[in-house]
Amino acid sequence: MAKVTLVFALLLVVLGLAGYLGTGSVHNTALIPTWFGLALGVFGFLAISPNEGRRKLFMHINVTIALLGFLGAAGRGVYGYIHASAAGKSPDAIALGSQAAMAGLLLIYVILCVRSFIAARRSGKV
């Protein structure tokens, strides 16, 4: 699961950089997925360990980061859409797309982690 974490970390970094460059390098908040990707990447590398306790610790840290990132991205996306609609404006398509992509990636990652944790518990590896 640690290698899957590195893939999702890379996807988030690319998403953040694409959003930042897509806004003309003006909006620094477009880099938020990059910071979440870097955090997942660091703890993903630390989770690549023969020590089972260390691996479990860092994977639980990763899934917590991902869950918080999902809640934040989904919440900001919904809030931004509702706020723009209430003001009679169209929401910023790049920001909304980036938030939706980040929320989607992190939701998939959290689901994969939870399934992995359940499978490990059932197999008796825990």
- The pLDDT of residue 126 is 56
pLDDT tens per residue across span 17-45? 998 998 888 888 889 999 999 999 999 99
pLDDT tens per residue across span 64-95? 999 999 999 999 999 989 998 898 888 888 88
Burial class (CB in 10 A: 0-12, 13-18, 19+), 53: exposed
pTM score:
0.90
Q: Which residue has the higher pLDDT, 109 or 94?
A: 109
Burial class (CB in 10 A: 0-12, 13-18, 19+), 82: exposed
Residue partners of 65: CB distance under 8 A and separation at least 6: 36, 39, 40, 43
